[in-house]
Amino acid sequence: MSQTNILLEAGTNELEIVEFHLDEEDPDDSGYKGYYGVNVAKVLEIIRLPKVTELPEVRHKSVLGAFNLRSQIIPLVDLAVWLKKKRAAKEPPKVIVTEFNNVTTAFMVSGVNRIHRISWEEVEPPNEYISALTSDTITGVVKLEGRIIFLLDLERIVSDLNPQLGLHLDQAMDWSSSARYRALVADDSTLIREMIKDLMQKANFDVEAVTNGRDAWERLCELKRRAADEHRDIVDYVQVMVADIEMPQMDGHALCKQIKEDAVLKKMPVILFSSLITDKLRHKGLAVGADEQISKPNITSVATRARALIEESRTGQVRA
pLDDT at position 22: 93
Q: Which residues pair with 241 in a beta bridge?
A: 184, 270
Could you give the CA distance from residue 265 to residue 258 in angstroms, rounded to a whole number?
Answer: 9
Could you give the CA distance from residue 72 to residue 254 in angstroms, rounded to a whole number?
Answer: 34
Could you give the CA distance from residue 218 to residue 202 in angstroms, rounded to a whole number?
Answer: 26
Please check the confidence at residue 234 and state whether its pLDDT lies above 90: yes
pLDDT at position 9: 74
Please check the confidence at residue 314 and state whether its pLDDT lies above 90: no
Task: Check: CB of residue 208 under 8 Å from CB of residue 237.
Answer: no
pLDDT at position 168: 61
Cβ-based neighbour number of residue 81 at 10 Å: 16
- Residue-wise pLDDT for 15-72, tens only, equals 999 999 999 877 666 668 899 999 999 999 999 999 999 988 877 899 999 999 999 9
Show the beta-strand stretches assigned E in the chain.
Answer: 14-24, 32-39, 43-48, 63-69, 72-78, 94-100, 103-109, 111-119, 138-144, 147-152, 181-186, 205-210, 240-243, 270-274, 292-295
Mean confidence (pLDDT) of the chain? 86
Could you give the CA distance from residue 273 to residue 213 in angstroms, rounded to a whole number?
Answer: 13
| DSSP assignment string, 271-302 | EEEETT-STTTHHHHHHTT-SEEEETT-THHH
| Across 189-212, average pLDDT | 88
pLDDT at position 317: 47
Task: Check: CB of residue 60 under 8 Å from CB of residue 68.
Answer: no
User: What domains are defined for the chain?
Assistant: 14-163 (2.40.50.180), 167-315 (3.40.50.2300)
| Across 185-209, average pLDDT | 88
pTM (two decimals): 0.81
Helical ranges in 46-149 per DSSP H: 79-82, 128-133
Q: Quickly state the pLDDT bin for 177 (edges 50, 70, 90).
A: low
**Omega of the bond prior to 297 within 30 degrees of 0, cis?**
yes
| Across 164-186, average pLDDT | 73
- Strand, coil or helix: 65: strand
Q: Which residues pair with 147 in a beta bridge?
A: 144
Q: Quickly state the pLDDT bin for 86 (edges 50, 70, 90).
A: confident
- Strand, coil or helix: 53: strand
Nearest 5°: the CA angle 311, 317, 318 is 125
Could you give the CA distance from residue 164 to residue 180 in angstroms, rounded to a whole number?
Answer: 32
Q: Which residues pair with 107 in a beta bridge?
A: 77, 96
Single-letter code of the amino acid located at 85: K
pLDDT at position 159: 80
| Across 74-97, average pLDDT | 91
| Across 139-143, average pLDDT | 90
Determine the longest span between alpha carbons in the chain, in angstroms. Answer: 70
Cβ-based neighbour number of residue 85 at 10 Å: 16
- Strand, coil or helix: 110: coil
DSSP, res 18: E
CA-based torsion, 4, 35, 78, 28: positive or negative: negative
Q: Which residues pair with 152 in a beta bridge?
A: 138
Q: How many CA atoms lie within 13 A of 129 on its CB side?
A: 0
Please check the confidence at residue 98 and state whether its pLDDT lies above 80: yes
Residue 46 CA to its chain's centroid (Å) = 20
